[in-house]
Structure 1
Amino acid sequence: MTSIDIAAFKAPSLEDFERLGRVALDGLPAEFKTLIGDIEIRVDEFPAEDALEELGLESEFDLLGLFQGVGLAHASATGYTGRLPNRIWLYRRPILDYWAEHDETLGAVVSHVLIHEIGHHFGLSDDDMEAIENAAD
């Protein structure tokens, strides 16, 4: 029987999640990345309380990621002066919770969340993206 050093195992850190997000973003096709433009990837343990309230969510585990900024559909109407950069938030603890309950790699879950939030950047709703995913399956 092979021994395993259980003490060496630890949950991925916020920095690990940021690297996973960057790898997922870097793996997108060049044409797609050009359309995205400069977008920040931020990682936090949980979403902010105001984000949960705005979305009508009761649990901090209900939100895996969030697009924050001005999507492409609205960018020309708002102008670019004085606005914050577009961001995608990845929430470590809710993603880890989801991952523990599903048969996917952590990288695949992070990639899915990132691409979902990029869909919001393009102006797609959750219903739009669900229809696209269902059609692809």
Structure 2
Amino acid sequence: MRSFTTAPTTEEIVALADEALAWAQRHFPRDLAKLLEGVAIVVDDLPDDETVEEMGFDSPWELTGLWRGVPLTQRSVLQTPDQPEMVHLYRLPILAEWIETGEDLRSLVRNVLIHEIAHHFGFSDEEITRLEREG
């Protein structure tokens, strides 16, 4: 895959996210990795206004990713999901962070994806931040 010096296309962000998901499935404990099977990754340029409002942000540029689905800690074995489990990645805010921080784009996409997967496993933002500091 190419080294990025210009803004990647949506398809290239999808490819980076697929690569990151495959990495997670190889590196997470087997019982957790199995739970990621069938997770859909959707890449949009920006979140819609409804999502921005729902998440309590002032601007769509503040949101790089979002898990849509029921966290494992809140699921019942009798519950049938209304929608498929999805990770939404927002291309333009990710690119803005990439430009601002100079972080490697592959690492950035992987970090956003792993952050959203952690939400799926029931971690709060505070717990994820603590784990990132410890890791």
Normalised by the size of structure 1, how large is the TM-score?
Answer: 0.86
Secondary structure at the aligned position of 2:76 is classed as: helix
Which structure's CA Rg is the greater one? 1
Unaligned 5+ residue runs, structure 1? 1-8
Unaligned 5+ residue runs, structure 2? none
Query: Where do 4+ consecutive residues of structure 1 move more than 2 Å?
Result: none
Normalised by the size of structure 2, how large is the TM-score?
Answer: 0.87
How large is the Cα RMSD of the aligned pairs? 1.6
Question: 1:78, 1:56 → 2: CA distance?
Answer: 31
Q: What is the one-letter code of the residue matched to 1:40?
A: A
How many residues of Structure 1 are paired with residues of Structure 2 in the alignment? 127
Change beyond 3 A, Cα 1:100–1:84: same
Alignment identity in percent?
37
Q: What is the one-letter code of the residue matched to 1:18?
A: V
Question: 1:132, 1:76 → 2: CA distance?
Answer: 26
Matches within 5 A, 1:21-100: 21-28=17-24, 29=27, 31=30, 32-76=32-76, 79-80=79-80, 83-100=82-99
Question: 2:120, 2:56 → 1: CA distance?
Answer: 20
Change beyond 3 A, Cα 1:78–1:66: farther
